[in-house]
Structure 1
Amino acid sequence: MSRPESLTSSDVPSLPDVPSSSDMPVFVEPWHAQVFALAVRLSEQGHFTWPEWAATFSEELARASAAGAPKDGSAYYDVWLTALETMLLDRNLATPEQLSDLKQAWTDAYLSTPHGAPVHLKR
């Protein structure tokens, strides 16, 4: 594996359609920051290079746009998550079954959590 490239703050303004404030990303929901951090960490660990990530993310952005995704940036982190799932599958870091089970676990946790309370997965 090649040495991973680190994402720096100077890279952030070059990300397409990222919602921003003062030239830094705005994470409207906690999961936005988490999915962003997961992609960065996996790249830092050498599972993929940042250019490989950017190519996959760009492909997913194009797919989402072609499918009619809003152009206002509201679907940005949904697409980021789709790209991350693609990378996990392509790199054999997860199986479709594992991703499906995890999504179901989060759905169950969300639906059983009282409004306003943090959602936690049962271990």
Structure 2
Amino acid sequence: MSVIDAEAAASAAAAMPGIPRDADGPVFREPWEAHAFAMALALHARGLFTWPEWAASLADEIRGAQAAGDPDTGETYYRHWLANLEKMIAAKGVATADALHRYRDAWDHAADRTPHGRPIELRPEDFAP
């Protein structure tokens, strides 16, 4: 993954005060969190959504998770971010929910066969039911 654009990250952080951050900007506990953040930045830059639209949708996602029992310790923030990203992509017609589930399952299959520390690579057989 390329380095996250600092200006874009600062814009996102200003629009959403709940983003985990330190003095230098957003912080991530795992690489996938940074990837999800970067995907949202890229889709915002392409005009798929505004930051106020994103923030409202993410707040709804978090409220729903809390109502379902999420303890809101901050450790699940980027899980909500990713769920919201998937929801927005489907709502905007970029990909269907079924396609997103198919790719998520394929990534799970690929991750299961990949030794720890190695890059995950999708193969056609990962998409088999």
Distance in 2 (CA, whole Å) between partners of 1:10 and 1:89 is: 24
Greater CA deviation, 18-27 or 83-92? 18-27
1:81 and 1:11 map into 2 onto residues whose CA distance is 15
Identity across matched positions, percent? 42
Residue 48 of structure 1 deviates from its aligned partner by: 1.3
Please report how far the alpha carbon of residue 14 of structure 1 lies from its aligned counterpart in structure 2 after TM superposition: 5.8
Distance across 2 between alignment mates of 1:15 and 1:65: 18
What is residue 83 of structure 1 aligned with on the other side? Answer: 84
C-alpha displacement of 1:11: 4.7
TM-score w.r.t. length of structure 1: 0.84
Measured in 2, the distance between the counterparts of 1:10 and 1:43 equals: 11
More relative contact order in 1 or in 2 (CA 8 Å, sep 6+)? 1
- Counterparts of 1:79-118 in structure 2, within 5 Å, are 79-118=80-119
> Which one has a larger percent helix, Structure 1 or Structure 2?
2
Q: CA RMSD in A?
A: 2.0
Unaligned residue ranges in structure 2 (runs of 5+): 1-6, 125-129
| Paired residues of 1:13 and 1:24 also in contact (CA < 8 A) | no
Contact 1:13 1:23 in 2 (8 A): no
**Alignment coverage as a number of residue pairs:** 118
Rounded Cα–Cα distance in structure 1 between residues aligned with 2:41 and 2:15: 15
Distance 1:14 1:91, change over 3 A: closer
Checking the alignment, whether the CA contact within 8 Å between 2:20 and 2:26 is kept in structure 1 is yes
